[in-house]
Structure 1
Amino acid sequence: MTENFRPTVLRNQAYEALRGKWTPAVVTSLVFCILLGVAVSLSRVNALLYLIAYLGGASIVAIGMLYACWDLFTKGTLPEAGALFAPFKQYARTVGAVLLVFVYTLLWTLLLVIPGIIKAYSYSMTFYILRENPEMTAGDAITASQKMMDGHKMDLFLLSLSFIGWAILASITFGIGYLWLIPYIYTAYAAFYETLKKETSVTPATSVSAE
């Protein structure tokens, strides 16, 4: 692990990006949690209905949250609840990527849980790449993500692991703390992606052309 990928470094970058922007970030996070909660509540009605609602709706909103925090980190843009729905503008392409990532991860998980987790980290940059390269197909973005994450899956795992303490504290507050934790995590992931682009010699374009 290089210094730039250390969880403390990435978290500090995320915190600095959020400085002075916590209020709109928390409001956006609240809307995100409400929409996600609606999808989860459907699981009590019907498991298939929940799966459809999650893959076709809630997961798209989650990508919108991802993009809102990415824009905050790279452009200093204030998060807005409306940004959660931005991925719906390219709905078919986004849903296609969601379904592919879901199916690939599920198939690996059916073999063994650990390979499924590893693959989930391999695919984790897919939606950043998809947005940054509008000409790419979902399959190309997944391929590019795997190549970019080669040798960096542990870096992202350690970053995710570093938030466990914060997650415990958020749980103690009956979940209210997650309104702050979610944008903090997503902004740290944005910092990870931007660092990954700088540190790796593999770019989305070269990843696809190398196939």
Structure 2
Amino acid sequence: MLPNRQIKVEAKAALSGNWGIAIGIWVVYLVLGSAIEFTFIGPIILSGVFAFGFMAAYLTLVRTKSTSFETLFSGFSNFGTTCVAGILQTIFLTLWSLLFIIPGIVKTYSYSMTYYILRDNPNLSACEAITESRRMMNGYKGKLFCLDLSFIGWFLLCALTFGLLGLYVLPYYNAARARFYEDLKNKPTVEG
């Protein structure tokens, strides 16, 4: 796999000339996410649909160097599967987190590629996508964790600027994760 430093360089390259749309997608996703939090059933039903669209938008950006706001709503084209994937991820992560915090974190990384996989394989069921994410992440959870840790300074600066720097950092972070998936999908998995 590419070193995390190279993944970040390529993520920035994908964002070049696309910062406006990348920030816009993040803001719309944030506003929609906040709006559905005020309903009882909304977060349960729509979180997976919007998470899929959000990740699909950044995956499209990394692949084609462009994306659109319409991609943010692409989860509705496969509503049942993206909805069920969100519900199942929430259930599984809650159950793993009940055991202890560490298994919950490990499983969060295990399931982290689910929406990217669904974007590339819309014919998969939610369970199949989660299983494929677990398989794919065998041997690579630590690498993604290190990529996430490499953004900790940026996130601290976001806090110091009351979130303002997030307009730069969050698109960069999500593009880096999409680029991680692009590299990961062609790698052999590690057994165990």
Output the TM-score relative to the length of structure 2.
0.91
User: Which amino acid letter does the alignment assign opposite residue 22 of structure 1?
Assistant: W
Q: CA deviation at 1:161?
A: 1.1
Counterparts of 1:35-46 in structure 2, within 5 Å, are: 35-40=32-37, 42=38
User: Which amino acid letter does the alignment assign opposite residue 82 of structure 1?
Assistant: E
- Is residue 48–residue 86 contact of structure 2 (8 Å, CA) maintained in 1? yes
Question: What do the CA deviations read for 1:40-79 (whole angstroms, capped 9, x no partner)?
Answer: 4x2xxx7xx2xx322322442232111101001011223x
Question: What do the CA deviations read for 1:157-188 (whole angstroms, capped 9, x no partner)?
Answer: 11111111111112222212222222211111
User: Which amino acid letter does the alignment assign opposite residue 51 of structure 2?
Assistant: A
C-alpha separation in 2, matches of 1:36 and 1:180: 19
The corresponding residue for 1:169 is 157
C-alpha separation in 1, matches of 2:156 and 2:43: 25
1:33 matched to 2:21: no
Q: CA deviation at 1:102?
A: 1.1
Moved over 4 A (4+): none
Q: CA deviation at 1:33?
A: 1.8
- Is residue 71–residue 77 contact of structure 1 (8 Å, CA) maintained in 2? yes
How many residue pairs align between the two structures? Answer: 190
Change (3 A) 1:14 1:94: same
Question: What do the CA deviations read for 1:126-160 (whole angstroms, capped 9, x no partner)?
Answer: 11111211221111111111111101000111111
C-alpha separation in 2, matches of 1:38 and 1:60: 14
User: Which amino acid letter does the alignment assign opposite residue 4 of structure 2?
Assistant: P
Q: Which consecutive unaligned segments of at least 5 residues does structure 1 have? A: 203-211
C-alpha separation in 2, matches of 1:7 and 1:112: 28
Q: Secondary structure at the match of 1:198?
A: coil
C-alpha separation in 1, matches of 2:98 and 2:188: 31
C-alpha separation in 2, matches of 1:196 and 1:145: 10
- Larger radius of gyration between Structure 1 and Structure 2: 1
Q: CA deviation at 1:198?
A: 2.4
User: Which amino acid letter does the alignment assign opposite residue 198 of structure 1?
Assistant: N
The corresponding residue for 1:22 is 19
C-alpha separation in 2, matches of 1:165 and 1:60: 30
- Is residue 51–residue 115 contact of structure 2 (8 Å, CA) maintained in 1? no
Q: Secondary structure at the match of 2:130?
A: helix
Which segment drifts farther, 166-175 or 156-165?
A: 166-175
Q: Which consecutive unaligned segments of at least 5 residues does structure 2 have? A: none
C-alpha separation in 2, matches of 1:133 and 1:171: 37
